Structure formats: structure tokens, C-alpha cells
Amino acid sequence: MNELSRAQIRDLMAQVVQHQGRVLPDDDSADLREIGFRSLDFSELALRVEDATGEELNFDAPGLRRIATVGDVLDFLAELQRQ
């Protein structure tokens, strides 16, 4: 499996946000609600990570509930790649 770095995941996240006409803040502590990053955006990002790595990410809803910031998304997806 080709594991993506946090920076690579951030780049993919920026692409998802840009596709929606928004800009991803440089600050990892940026609140997802404030930047308009929704569950559908997360799903699109997860699919892009899966496409880039060639591996399926396995996660459940309870794990998603603790995600509130850009950094949380990056950490969550980076950790999923290691499982």
C-alpha cells in the first residue's frame, strides 16, 4: 500500500474544498463547520485517499463524531492508513 503523508492528505482535502469554491485554511485548528466541510466532503476525501493508496479505508460513525477540525481529519485519515 502507498501510504499518504499528512501533507498529501491535506492537498487532497484542499482539492475537495476548492471544488466547492472554498479555500482550505493553513491552520490545522480551523473548525470544519466554519469552512463548510461537511460529511459529503469527508466521503469524497476518503475516496480520494483510497484511490491514491489502492486500499479501502475502514471506519465507523463513532470515530467520525470526534472530528471537528482540519487537523482531526488529517490525523484520522493518516491513522486509518496504518490499520
The pLDDT tens digits for 41-74 are 999 999 999 999 999 988 877 778 889 999 999 9
Q: What is the CATH number of the domain that holds 36?
A: 1.10.1200.10
Q: Containing domain of residue 37, as a range? A: 6-81
Report if residue 1 sits inside a domain: no
Residue 21 lies in a domain: yes
Residue 24: pLDDT band with limits 50, 70, 90: very high
Give the chain's domain count. 1
> How far apart are alpha carbons 11 and 73 in whole angstroms?
12
User: Would you state the pLDDT for residue 62?
Assistant: 76
CA 45 from centroid of its chain's CA atoms: 5
Residue 63 lies in a domain: yes
Task: Tell me if 30 is assigned to some domain.
Answer: yes
Judge whether 22 lies within some domain. yes
